[in-house]
Amino acid sequence: MIIGIDIGNTTVEIGFIHDIEKISSYRLKTDHARTSDDWFLDLNQIFSLEGRPQIDRCLISSVVPIVEDRIAEGFLRLTGEKPLFIGKDVAVPIKNNYSRPEEVGIDRLVNSFAVSRKYGFPAIVVDFGTAITFDVVNEKGEYEGGAIFPGIDASISALFSKTARLPSVNLKNVKAVVGKTTADSIRSGIYFGYISLVEGMVERINREAGYRHKLVLTGGSGKVLCEGLSIPHIYDRYLSMEGIYMIFRELQGY
Q: What are the catalytic residues?
A: 107
89 phi and psi, to 5 degrees? -85, -30
15 within 8 A of 23, measured Cβ to Cβ: yes
110 within 8 A of 240, measured Cβ to Cβ: yes
130 phi and psi, to 5 degrees? -55, -45
190 within 8 A of 224, measured Cβ to Cβ: no
| Residue 44 buriedness (CB in 10 A; 0-12 / 13-18 / 19+) | middle
Q: Could you give the CA distance from residue 235 to residue 216 in angstroms, rounded to a whole number? A: 6
Of the chain, the end-to-end C-alpha distance in Å amounts to: 15
Strands 214-219, 234-235: parallel, antiparallel or unpaired by DSSP?
Answer: parallel
